[in-house]
Amino acid sequence: MDVKLAVLIDGDNIPAGYVKEMMEEIAKYGNPTIKRIYGDWTNPRLGKWKNVLLENAITPIQQYGYTTGKNATDSAMIIDAMDILYSGKVNGFCLVSSDSDFTRLATRLREAGMQVFGIGEKKTPDPFIVACDRFIYLEILKDQSEEDTPDATTRKSKSKANLDKIGPKVIKLISTTIDDVADDDGWAFLGDVGSLLQKKQPNFDSRNYGFQKLTPLIASLSNFEVERREDSRGKKKLIYVKIKEKTKPR
């Protein structure tokens, strides 16, 4: 089934330089039929967004900051989300923000049977991340806007600086997940492993560690074995993984 997504962007909280990569990422998960961005467009700080809205068919929603210290943008975005939910026009939401104020909204949308994708910066608080089905960091989509990267060497070094290290916690997470779905011989279908990893940790993404896919990430670790098998028709390669006996957790 084609997932129809409502993309709601917190313009006060997300840099405009990420928009192209962000929309390409969203297209992987469904068809963005509603695209709205919220903010006070009289504020010069949002000027960079104005140049990319038409190119990406994103509708700006004006929300004045009526009271100092209160975020009216959040309230407008939450009200719109609930209106869209009850309209029945979509079956998924993409909430683009690094603000924990949207934690309850994400939870409520999932309670209503919606798929919820979150996109934000690495500073995003954990409660909002775990309230989503999947959370993608903006930094892995684009490490720096082109105007701030003088050359490819600088881009590459900044990209490496943004990568997370594969530490004992990550290895344990992968190991326990393989154990959870493995057969009697200890082999687990990688597709099942990836799905369960996402449920356990919505912000788990191989790209956070410098790998485009989960297969090369696991293959790079000495803790695991990777085996490629043909399906019953011999038309497709299926990938299975196993914990090496000496590294299997007790």
Confidence (pTM): 0.84
* Helical ranges in the chain per DSSP H: 19-26, 47-53, 72-87, 103-111, 126-130, 138-141, 152-162, 168-181, 190-200, 214-219
Which residues are CB-neighbours of 77 under 8 A, at least 6 positions away? 8, 10, 38, 61, 97, 102, 105
Within 10 angstroms of residue 43's Cβ, the number of other Cβ atoms is: 12
What's the CA gap between 45 and 173, in Å, rounded? 41
Cα torsion 94, 100, 101, 105: sign = positive
- Structural domains of the chain sorted by starting position, each given as residue range(s) with its CATH number in brackets: 4-162 (3.40.50.1010), 168-247 (3.30.420.610)
Asked if residue 205 lies in contact with residue 120, where contact means CB atoms within 8 angstroms, the answer is: no
pLDDT digit of tens for each residue in the chain (250 aa)? 688 999 999 988 888 888 889 999 999 999 999 999 998 888 888 888 887 888 889 999 987 765 544 466 788 899 999 999 999 999 999 999 998 989 999 999 999 999 999 999 999 999 999 999 999 999 988 753 343 444 544 445 555 666 888 999 999 999 999 999 999 999 999 999 999 999 999 999 999 999 999 999 999 999 999 999 887 776 778 999 999 886 555 5
Q: What is the pLDDT of residue 20?
A: 87
